[in-house]
Chains A and B, each alone.
Chain A
Amino acid sequence: QVQLQESGPGLVKPSQTLSLTCTVSGGSISSGSYYWSWIRQPAGKGLEWIGRIYTSGSTNYNPSLKSRVTISVDTSKNQFSLKLSSVTAADTAVYYCARVILSLGYCFDYWGQGTLVTVSS
């Protein structure tokens, strides 16, 4: 059973960089059958896709966040990471990592439980 687990600071100061890691267990992040993605959800609001990474390191980002986002992968640790720079209060949200399965129409079939990140001084 594949499991994803987000980790990282729950509080980030404005203008600083938010950094989160997603650890994948029960499967290899190096499999060519998946993308690995980050999604966020402000309290009481909908889901916003942040970006995705392939095992090769190839990335795609939400155009609205592209200038501030970096997603990377560490296959040796079976992890992928998110960095979001120059954060403001608007970046306060629950951040989810998720697996995108290519063979099922590029849907998110496994999700982490989510981690709340608050941007505040």
Chain B
Amino acid sequence: DIQMTQSPSSLSASVGDRVTITCRASQSISSYLNWYQQKPGKAPKLLIYAASSLQSGVPSRFSGSGSGTDFTLTISSLQPEDFATYYCQQSYSTPGFTFGPGTKVDIK
């Protein structure tokens, strides 16, 4: 099975900061990597699919990069509504999908 790790597990940042979250797969997953944002009590929301494609309606301050085993999610200028937990998810392997453990972004 493909295992996903994320770093850091949490971070504190200020509005306007540039934030980078890393996701690593235990084996190559090509570009089959997606990113989600989850706020407390809400369902996850798709931000980035196929490693670097921005989902419709998602602000352009969010971007994704990487391929193979190493991926990053970047928020170019953190906004108050961006404080949330972020999950990566691989969709390469059969039978199934695996999520990373999450990165919580909170206010410094």
Contacts and interface: CB of A to CB of B under 8 A. Distances in A.
B105 to A, nearest CB: 15
Contacts of A107: 34, 46, 49-50, 89, 91
A112 interface: yes
B43 A111 contact: yes
Nearest to A66: B95
Interface size class of B (residues with CB under 8 A): 20 to 34
For chain A, the bracket of interface size reads: 20 to 34
User: Which label, helix, strand, loop or mixed, suits the secondary structure of the B interface?
Assistant: loop
A108 B36 contact: yes
Given A105-B91, A108-B34, A49 B43 contact: no
Interface in A16-59: 37, 46-49, 51-52
A96 B31 CA distance: 25
A101 B29 CA distance: 18
Interface of A: 37, 46-49, 51-52, 60-63, 96, 98, 100, 104-109, 111-114
